[in-house]
């Protein structure tokens, strides 16, 4: 791995030109337990929802013909405890384990490759502090070929200025929350980000049945007819304009923990997307 991940749990970062001052662990907690929604896949589910005493302890995420995807235990009680910070960071951002094997879908590597060095360091720093969970959810099985890699090695990714802007909203909706991967149709080589960004149509299977990712572009089939407040309500409360509930797996409880400014930035970015009809 060509970049080094500097983890300083007690150091404070002061971002130039902003009012933010926080430790890496604090930033990591905000990302993991908030907008990134890592527990939406990595926390075991019981009949009444997430099993919080086993937070981030791993679980079965998806079982379809193509694969059985199991999110591993990412607490200090799981296999990652023996990985170095740099190895864990590489697994998160590039999908490559210390032994060189590739982590398969649905981890959103088309998005995670864009995580900034600082946010990646923050996520690793926070994961090292969470309570250890003794749980082995098993190993994923794939009936489809995986590529040799998701792209070339990532040297470094610069910070995106944290402000209410299209650029920061794109970063949050992309690399951090990976909204754009779930809401983009899949082709034979992964999400069709270059041609169908935000068009929707991807299917998710779970105990609730089948849910289909919505079109979130500025088209009549998407968000063009919704006001900003209605979009925000859908994102953080999982409720449509008529009050009806939306289906999983969108991590509404996690997204509800984001700051108002981050939510504003995401909506600003969504408004910038070219309109595309439903696929």
* pLDDT per position as a tens digit, 51-93: 999 999 999 999 989 999 999 999 999 999 999 999 999 999 9
Q: Which of 99, 127, 142 is the last residue of a domain?
A: 142
Identify the three-state secondary structure at position 275: coil
Residue 135 and residue 246 in one domain: no
Count of CB atoms situated within 10 Å of the CB of 152: 8
Closest residue by Cα to residue 166 from 274, 29, 26: 274
pLDDT at 194: 94
Lookup: tokens for 251: 């991590």
Spatial separation of the C-alpha atoms in residues 194 and 38, rounded to whole Å: 25
Domain membership flag for residue 238:
yes
Residue 32 and residue 104 in one domain: yes
pLDDT at 14: 44
Identify the three-state secondary structure at position 273: coil
Residue 200 and residue 267 in one domain: yes
Q: Is the pLDDT of residue 206 over 50?
A: yes
Residue 85 structural domain:
12-142
Q: Are 130 and 226 in contact (CB under 8 A)?
A: no
List residues bridging with 206 in a β-sheet: 209
Tens digits of residue pLDDT in 149-185: 999 999 999 999 999 999 999 999 999 999 999 999 9
Provide the domain count of the chain: 2
Residue 132 and residue 21 in one domain: yes
- Per-residue pLDDT band for 48 (boundaries 50, 70, 90) equals confident
Higher per-residue pLDDT: 228 or 8: 228
Residue 132 and residue 20 in one domain: yes
pLDDT at 236: 96
Domain membership flag for residue 278:
no
pLDDT at 21: 66
pLDDT at 20: 59
- Per-residue pLDDT band for 241 (boundaries 50, 70, 90) equals confident
What mean pLDDT is predicted for residues 187-196? 89
Domain membership flag for residue 7:
no
DSSP, res 173: I
Of the listed ranges 1-15, 88-102, 127-141, 161-175, the one predicted with least confidence: 1-15
Residue 20 and residue 86 in one domain: yes
Residue 130 and residue 179 in one domain: no
Spatial separation of the C-alpha atoms in residues 171 and 175, rounded to whole Å: 6
What pTM was estimated for this model as a whole? 0.91
Domain membership flag for residue 2:
no
């Amino acid at each position: 791995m060509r970049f080094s991940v500097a983890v300083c749990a007690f150091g404070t970062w002061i971002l130039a030109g902003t009012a933010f001052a926080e430790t890496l662990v604090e930033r990591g907690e905000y990302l993991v337990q908030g907008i990134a929604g890592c527990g939406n896949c990595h926390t075991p589910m019981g009949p009444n929802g997430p099993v919080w005493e086993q937070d981030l302890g791993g679980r079965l995420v998806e079982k379809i013909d193509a694969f059985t995807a199991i999110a591993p235990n990412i607490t200090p009680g799981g296999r990652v405890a023996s990985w170095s910070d740099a190895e864990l960071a590489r697994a998160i951002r590039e999908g490559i384990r210390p032994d060189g094997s590739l982590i398969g879908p649905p981890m959103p590597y088309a998005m995670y490759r864009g995580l900034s060095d600082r946010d990646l360091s923050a996520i690793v720093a926070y994961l090292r502090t969470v309570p250890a969970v003794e749980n082995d959810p098993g190993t994923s099985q794939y009936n489809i070929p995986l590529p040799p890699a998701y792209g070339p090695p990532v040297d470094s990714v610069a910070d995106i200025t944290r402000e209410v802007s299209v650029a920061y909203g794109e970063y949050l909706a992309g690399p951090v929350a990976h909204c754009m991967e779930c809401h983009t149709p899949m082709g034979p080589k992964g999400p069709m980000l270059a041609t169908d960004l935000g068009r929707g149509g991807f299917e998710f299977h779970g105990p609730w049945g089948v849910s289909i990712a919505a079109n979130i572009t500025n088209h009549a089939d998407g968000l063009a007819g919704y006001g900003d407040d209605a979009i925000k309500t859908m994102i953080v409360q999982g409720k449509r304009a008529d009050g009806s509930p939306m289906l999983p797996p969108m991590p509404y409880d996690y997204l509800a923990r984001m700051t108002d400014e981050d939510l504003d930035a995401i909506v600003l970015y969504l408004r910038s997307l070219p309109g595309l009809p439903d696929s």
